[in-house]
Structure 1
């Protein structure tokens, strides 16, 4: 991965301790990294033989709503999707990189790459450029070998396999819904409803989340199911979010070998 940006000018958020004598130490505060801004809500959860991922549609710049139709749910391969939080530029670069690397793997090996393998690849990129990419990702998908799988990846290279997870400024609200109502072997429909409710709970309370919900369900032997809900301030006020279905589409997918 020699084409990746290097980390030569990154300031670490640490204390530097230098020995002045055998019995004394001098402590110096180094310049801290800028705080990562994750103004968004993304969720992922396991369902029976698959996964559901969902995001809101609002992109912010500080207190300014920069875009009301931001795409935060992206396909890496037909059997695997990723959500993004944090820096849009960093996330878009990493998504393009993952798409290319997973496609090369498929061409060389004549079968799809696993979800866990892709998560490990992204972890290596993030860890080797520790703190350079200001992102938070949820990677989810299904293969016959792994079943449904969800991985939570942090900008410093952390990798956690989860049954359900949420990332972004609205995650404290969304995770409460998931924690309360998630259970094993949910149907695709029930999983999508739960994901929508989780994101909706964040949209109501988190000013950096809003304007709509994108959802996808990936399940064994089924084409991906995508849904999009547009949400206005009036919908939130009148509690009509569940009835504002905008689009339902199905896409063909290739089976993992």
Structure 2
């Protein structure tokens, strides 16, 4: 997947060029598609699947003027911690972000393909794809991974962006078949999603500020890590914080580690105070 680059767009566009980069690859270089996708897709060999890193947990919520998406930093492999530094939230393009849960390697491949898909569309058509169109194309990619999902290598994304036509932030969740569902207020995916969603239900309210939404995202991940061993909480020793992006009419922006450190310290101090008073 690392070999998929912008050069493929320039060097292989033919008379059958299409605004879909994944369709273009399927026609000209199907070997560059993620394993299990495209006309050359094949089933995994029979036998027990090896342990592979899995990514969890992602949360997203709307606020007045946009959306926030955040993910913890832990990847697990069975009962082991495979990584404490994994990034699970990525900018899809200037006005949308993508969070991944599930089989980490395949999820990252699909994320990279989706990023190039949106860039390719813009180059071919001369305009940005609508947010609805982006959500639909991501669903098609997840559907293409269904054979792998049926063998235990599922990818479940969470997609969010700013819809210029409606002047609001919008959230979309998916299932393993590529089914797409719009979430109106907030949502969470991954092994800790049940606990994160419970926190979001209590903390979310309409017309929050961006700063308030960032704090609630961090708090919901904190709650998830408290009950789900596959979700990593803020690491005060290693100074590891969640990856957090905001998307507004001006575009997507990654919340800096300095800002997150301040938010995390405020959240942890408030929890410590409650614990002492209990």
Question: TM-score, normalized by length of structure 1?
Answer: 0.75
Which residue of the partner structure matches residue 243 of structure 2?
Answer: 214
Which residue of the partner structure matches residue 86 of structure 2?
Answer: 70
Alpha-carbon contact 2:95-2:251 (below 8 Å) kept = no
Instruction: Name structure 2 gaps, 5 residues minimum.
Output: 1-22, 236-240, 273-278
Which residue of the partner structure matches residue 155 of structure 2?
Answer: 135
Does 2:214 match 1:192? yes
SS of the counterpart of 2:202?
helix
CA separation in 1, counterparts of 2:135 and 2:93? 13
Does 2:133 match 1:113? no
Which residue of the partner structure matches residue 152 of structure 1?
Answer: 173
Moved more, 72-81 or 140-149: 140-149
* Structural mapping, 1:71-110, within 5 Å: 71-110=87-126
Alpha-carbon contact 1:37-1:87 (below 8 Å) kept = yes
Q: 1:99 and 1:187, CA in 2 relative to 1: closer, same or farther beyond 3 A? A: same
CA separation in 2, counterparts of 1:38 and 1:175? 20
How far has the Cα of 1:33 moved from its partner?
10
SS of the counterpart of 2:198?
helix
CA separation in 2, counterparts of 1:93 and 1:222? 24
Could you give the per-residue CA deviations for residues 129-156 of structure 1, whole angstroms, max 9, x where no partner exists? 4242511111111131143111112222
Q: 1:241 and 1:216, CA in 2 relative to 1: closer, same or farther beyond 3 A? A: farther
CA separation in 2, counterparts of 1:195 and 1:116? 24
Instruction: Name structure 1 gaps, 5 residues minimum.
Output: 12-30, 244-257
Which residue of the partner structure matches residue 190 of structure 2?
Answer: 168
Which residue of the partner structure matches residue 9 of structure 1?
Answer: 43
Does 2:60 match 1:44? yes
Equivalenced residues, count: 219
Alpha-carbon contact 1:188-1:219 (below 8 Å) kept = no
Alpha-carbon contact 1:51-1:149 (below 8 Å) kept = yes
How far has the Cα of 1:113 moved from its partner?
1.9
Q: Determine which structure has the larger helix proportion and give its number.
A: 2
Moved more, 209-218 or 71-80: 209-218
Could you give the per-residue CA deviations for residues 175-207 of structure 1, whole angstroms, max 9, x where no partner exists? 001112212221111111111111110112211
Q: 1:241 and 1:32, CA in 2 relative to 1: closer, same or farther beyond 3 A? A: farther
SS of the counterpart of 2:255?
strand
Alpha-carbon contact 1:59-1:68 (below 8 Å) kept = yes
Question: TM-score, normalized by length of structure 2?
Answer: 0.70
Q: What's the RMSD between the two structures over aligned residues?
A: 3.0
CA separation in 1, counterparts of 2:188 and 2:111? 19
SS of the counterpart of 2:127?
coil
Which residue of the partner structure matches residue 202 of structure 1?
Answer: 224
Q: 1:200 and 1:103, CA in 2 relative to 1: closer, same or farther beyond 3 A? A: same
